[in-house]
Amino acid sequence: MVVGGGIAGFSAAVVLAERGVRVTVVEAEDTVGGRLGAWPHRLPDGTEQVVEHGFHAFFRQYYTWRAILRRADPSLAVLRPVGGYPVIAGRWPDEDLTGLPAAPPLSLLALFARSPSLGVRDLTGANRGLALELLGYHPARTAAALDRISAAEFLDRLSLSERARTMLFEAFARSFFCDPRAMSAAELVAMFHFYFLGNPEGLGFDAPRTDYLHGIWRPLIDYLGGRGAEVRTGGRVRAVEPVAGRRWRVVLDSGTALTARHVVLALDPGGLRGLLAGSDGLRAAAPELARRVEALRLAEPFAVSRLWLDRDVAPGRAVFSAVTGEDTLDSVTCYHRLEEPSARWAARTGGSVLELHSYACTEPDAERATARMRAELARLWPETRAAAVPHRVERLRGGAPAFPPGQLGRRPRVCGDAVGVRVAGDFVELPFCAGLMERSAMSGVLAANDVLAEEGAAAEPVDGVPQRGLLAGWTRLTRRSSRF
Ligand X SMILES: Cc1cc2nc3c(=O)[nH]c(=O)nc-3n(C[C@H](O)[C@H](O)[C@H](O)COP(=O)(O)OP(=O)(O)OC[C@H]3O[C@@H](n4cnc5c(N)ncnc54)[C@H](O)[C@@H]3O)c2cc1C
Residue 402 touches ligand X, criterion: CB under 6 A: no
Residue of 12, 67, 8 lying closest to 35 (CA atoms): 8
**x/- letters, 44..83, toward ligand X (CB under 6 A):** ---------xx-xx--------------------------
CB nearer ligand X, residue 61 or residue 107: 61
Cβ-proximal residues to 368 (8 Å cutoff; 6+ apart), any chain = none
Residue of 172, 248, 217 lying closest to 53 (CA atoms): 217
Task: Confirm if 438 and 56 have CB atoms less than 8 A apart.
Answer: no
Give the CA dihedral 73, 353, 321, 40, nearest 10 degrees: -40
Residue 35 touches ligand X, criterion: CB under 6 A: yes
Query: CB neighbours (10 Å) of residue 260?
Result: 18
Residue of 383, 429, 482 lying closest to 143 (CA atoms): 429
Residue of 224, 228, 239 lying closest to 421 (CA atoms): 239
Residue 307 β-bridge partners: 354, 392
Residue 187 touches ligand X, criterion: CB under 6 A: no
Burial of 245 (0-12, 13-18, 19+ CB in 10 A): exposed
Residue 437 touches ligand X, criterion: CB under 6 A: yes
Q: Where are the beta strands (DSSP E) in 361-480?
A: 391-397, 421-423
Residue 74 beta carbon to ligand X: minimum distance, rounded to whole angstroms: 22
**Of these, 1, 2, 7, 164, which contacts ligand X (CB under 6 A)?**
7
Residue 426 touches ligand X, criterion: CB under 6 A: yes
By residue count, the chain amounts to 484
Chain positions 286 to 315 lying near ligand X, rule: CB under 6 A, are 302, 304
The strands making up 352-358's β-sheet, listed across from edge to edge, are 95-96, 86-88, 320-323, 331-334, 352-358, 302-309, 391-397
Residue 275 touches ligand X, criterion: CB under 6 A: yes
Q: Angle at which helices 63-72 and 7-18 pack, to 10 degrees? A: 60
Residue 271 touches ligand X, criterion: CB under 6 A: yes
Candidate segments 106-114, 264-272, 282-290, 451-459, binder of ligand X by CB under 6 A: 264-272
Residue 445 beta carbon to ligand X: minimum distance, rounded to whole angstroms: 12
**Of these, 436, 447, 448, 472, which contacts ligand X (CB under 6 A)?**
436
Residue 267 touches ligand X, criterion: CB under 6 A: yes
Residue 241 touches ligand X, criterion: CB under 6 A: no
Residue 445 touches ligand X, criterion: CB under 6 A: no
**Of these, 198, 202, 325, 425, which contacts ligand X (CB under 6 A)?**
425
Residue 345 beta carbon to ligand X: minimum distance, rounded to whole angstroms: 21
CB nearer ligand X, residue 251 or residue 389: 251
Count of chain residues binding ligand X (CB under 6 A): 34
CB nearer ligand X, residue 36 or residue 185: 36
Residue 339 touches ligand X, criterion: CB under 6 A: no
Chain positions 355 to 384 lying near ligand X, rule: CB under 6 A, are 357
The strands making up 24-26's β-sheet, listed across from edge to edge, are 230-232, 24-26, 2-3, 263-265, 421-423
**Of these, 89, 131, 266, 465, which contacts ligand X (CB under 6 A)?**
266
Residue 6 touches ligand X, criterion: CB under 6 A: yes
Candidate segments 26-34, 86-94, 142-150, 240-248, binder of ligand X by CB under 6 A: 26-34
Residue 304 beta carbon to ligand X: minimum distance, rounded to whole angstroms: 5
Residue 131 one-letter amino acid? A
Residue 272 beta carbon to ligand X: minimum distance, rounded to whole angstroms: 7
Task: Confirm if 258 and 112 have CB atoms less than 8 A apart.
Answer: no
Q: Angle at which helices 287-294 and 269-277 pack, to 10 degrees? A: 130
Residue 8 touches ligand X, criterion: CB under 6 A: yes
Residue 236 touches ligand X, criterion: CB under 6 A: yes
Candidate segments 34-42, 383-391, 413-421, 446-454, binder of ligand X by CB under 6 A: 34-42
Residue 121 beta carbon to ligand X: minimum distance, rounded to whole angstroms: 32
Tally of CA atoms within 13 A in the half-sphere of 440 that contains its CB? 27
Where does this chain bind ligand X (CB under 6 A)?
Answer: 3-9, 26-29, 34-36, 53-54, 56-57, 236-237, 266-268, 271, 275, 302, 304, 357, 399, 425-426, 436-437, 440
